[in-house]
Amino acid sequence: MAMTRLRYQLSGVVPGGPTATTAAVLSATLGAAAACWVIAIDQMRGMDMGVATRLGSFTFFTASWTAMMAAMMLPGAVPAVLRRAHASGRVLAAPLFAGSYIAIWVVVGIAVYALYRPHGTLAAGAVVVAAGVYELTPIKRHFRLQCHEKARSGLVFGLDCVGSSAGLMAVLVVLGVMSVTWMAVIAAVVLAQKLLPARTAIDVPLAIAIVGVGIAILAAPSSVPGLVPTTGHMSMM
């Protein structure tokens, strides 16, 4: 469904059909995302300890986070990047737009590094429940709608998409900020929300499912694979 929506959006960006510019921008954007998946997976290998995950040095985490965000966020940004490239008439507008978009997510990563601490399952469950509730708020709907509109710049698009995906990214951070599995799950949801319009029949069950995961963590943290390290004692607070 998401790929069908992507083709529809691309046809709207380029009504006359594919062009050399479209092909170049599309290939470069998706190629960069694919390369960043490879880099992120390599950098994150052996780092996932669930709620006990440590971030490492600032340089390491910033590099890893940048690769993660490019991998997760660039596919869903393709329609916006193409719109910007065709509106400006310059191919270079595409990397500038995409680069400034990812720069916003890098700033978010710096904030995560400053605020993050290894934590317990109580904190993780509470954040996940809050993230599920956030999915149903007017703020979420506003920013998600903005992500589907024409953006004036990559910075504006980035700010809108941070507002739209804030809850989902909070889930990633508290459940396993260095988990490739959670990264893939959250990336799939973010991509679908970028490409598909909001629909109550889909969005409400998703929010309920997220809240359900949070409640499961609070009630039985061992039921969530990889959440708690298998070795050593982990405080529930």
Tens digit of pLDDT at every position of the chain (237 positions)? 544 555 545 555 444 445 777 888 889 999 999 999 999 999 999 999 999 999 999 999 999 999 999 999 999 999 999 888 888 777 688 899 999 999 999 999 999 999 999 999 999 999 999 999 999 999 999 999 998 887 779 999 999 999 999 999 999 999 999 999 999 999 999 999 999 999 999 999 999 999 999 999 999 998 888 898 765 444 333
Residue carrying the six token digits 């998703």: 206
73 inside domain: yes
228 inside domain: no
List of residues 6+ apart from 129 with CB closer than 8 A: 210, 211, 214, 215, 218
Own/partner pairs for 24-31, CB < 8 Å, 24+ apart? 24/91, 25/81, 25/82, 25/85, 25/91, 25/94, 26/78, 26/82, 28/94, 28/95, 29/74, 29/75, 29/77, 29/78, 29/81, 29/94, 29/98, 30/74, 30/75, 30/78
Rounded CA separation 123/75 (Å): 31
* Predicted local confidence at residue 233, as pLDDT: 41
Nearest to 210 by CA among 179, 158, 166, 177: 166
236 inside domain: no
Q: CA torsion sign, 104 to 151 to 192 to 130?
A: positive
141 inside domain: yes
Helix axes 154-176, 138-147, angle to 10 degrees: 130
- Residue 57 backbone phi and psi in degrees, to 5: -70, 160
* Predicted local confidence at residue 148, as pLDDT: 84
Contact assessment for residue 102 and residue 76, using Cβ atoms and an 8 Å cutoff: no
8 inside domain: yes
60 inside domain: yes
177 inside domain: yes
47 inside domain: yes
Q: How many domains does the chain fold into?
A: 1
Domain range spanning residue 30?
A: 2-223
